[in-house]
Structure 1
Amino acid sequence: MNLSEDVLKGVEALSDEKNISDNAFKNIVDCCFKVILKQKTESDLFEDKSAISGIDIIVLKQTYSAFIAFILELMKVNSDQATISDLLEDHKLSNNRIQFILNYFKEYRVAIRKALSITNFHFPHIIDINWRLDYFLKSNSLEKLNTPVYIVSLTTEQEEDQKGKVEFACTLDQLQDLVFKLRDAQKQIERSSIKS
């Protein structure tokens, strides 16, 4: 998990029951989950003046943004309830507040994971490759062509075990160039892993 110190401080701020009342806490948690799912906007957090009265606006915004990042990171790695509970407990949240947050994670887990899968920037993972060699002897305009063409078919895994297919045709030179670039990328990865 990749949680920054600012995010963890923001989550820990939710444990301060003197500065953040139960009503304000529930309002923040509800708003964060619903903003991620586009059911609310950030301005909805500030509409209920009675819930946020007495809270410094800067602390409120920092806590709000930290908790959004916290939710997204936990859902990105698909953390289970026990992991989330332990993490919240480590940051001094009371059992009542932990249970309240866990109920939201339980209720919105599937919807948030689905939203994350739609908005990710990851390319599909290649899980299989097939190829074949076609040989064109002649075409409509030329008598003799004698050109080999490679048909490459990549099977990819996208979100939630869905499979996709990418197909392309290339000449021998293009295929050799692709293989060369893949080998070069592999060497770069090996060099990077040795350094770290």
Structure 2
Amino acid sequence: MKINDNYKNSLAFAQNGSIITDAIYKKLLENCFSVLIGKEEVYSINSLYNSKPDVIKGFYAALLAVSAEFARNNLNREEILQFLTSDCSFTQQRAKIYVEFFENDRRGLEIALLNIGNCLPHVTDVKWKIDYIVKVR
């Protein structure tokens, strides 16, 4: 599994409780999994800013990308915990909270990923030809 280093760096902010408090962290996780399974955001992302809106937005974007990647690669609980704690410097507590949210919405994530690209009808049995007309003046 290949995760962009920018996402890893953004996720590393989870270790700093003064930037991303526990309450904001849980609300971001609720929003993340709600959006990924096709529902609306539970909380307005603009209401979750404290003093660092760019950090919160970057962290949220990284959560979305990494969560979709975990579901796409069908990672298990231990693999997710390993990635979050070793590669992204999550605390054990925050990594476990993330995994709980992920496990609760795993099936919805898998269904949402399976439905990508299936929303448009497919065209079959089309015959075509190029035709032109030459007009003399």
Q: Is contact 1:15-1:94 (8 Å) kept?
A: yes
Asked if 1:112 corresponds to 2:113, the answer is: no
Aligned match for 2:69, one of 69, 73, 90: 73
CA positional deviation for 1:53 = 4.6
Partner of 2:132: none
Q: Distance in 1 between matches of 2:115 and 2:25?
A: 29
Matched, 1:85 2:72: no
**2:3 aligned with 1:8:** no
Q: Tell me, in whole angstroms, the C-alpha distance in 1 between the residues paired with 2:41 and 2:25.
A: 17
Deviations 1:109-155 (A, max 9, x none): 0110110011058xxxxxxxxxxxxxxxxxxxxxxxxxxxxxxxxxx
Q: Encode CA deviations 1:57-105: one digit per residue, 9 max, x unaligned.
A: 1111111111100001111111110000001111221121111101011
Q: What do you get for the CA RMSD once the two structures are aligned?
A: 2.0
1:27: how far off? 1.0
Distance 1:61 1:69, change over 3 A: same
Q: Matches of 1:4 and 1:42 in 2, distance apart?
A: 27
Aligned partner of 2:46 in structure 1 is 46
SS at match of 1:14: helix
Equivalenced residue count is: 118
Query: How far did 1:15 drift?
Result: 1.9
Q: How does 1:161-172 map to 2 (within 5 A)?
A: none
Structure 1 or 2: larger strand share? Answer: 1
Tell me the secondary structure at the aligned position of residue 15 of structure 2.
coil
In the alignment, residue 85 of structure 1 is paired with which amino acid?
L
Where structure 2 has 5 or more consecutive residues not aligned to the other structure, the ranges are 119-124, 126-137
Contact 1:27 / 1:45 at 8 angstroms: preserved in 2? Answer: no
Equivalent positions of 1:19-38 (< 5 A) are 19-38=19-38
Shift of 1:16: 1.4
**TM superposition score normalised by structure 2:** 0.78
Query: How far did 1:40 drift?
Result: 2.1
Q: What is the distance in 2 between the residues matched to 1:42 and 1:62?
A: 18
Residues 140-185 of structure 1: per-residue CA shift (max 9 Å, x gap): xxxxxxxxxxxxxxxxxxxxxxxxxxxx9xxxxxxxxxxxxxxxxx
Q: TM-score, normalised by structure 1?
A: 0.56
Aligned residue identity for 2:20: I
Q: Mean Cα displacement is larger for which, 67-76 or 31-40? A: 31-40
CA distance in 2, matches of 1:20, 1:58: 12
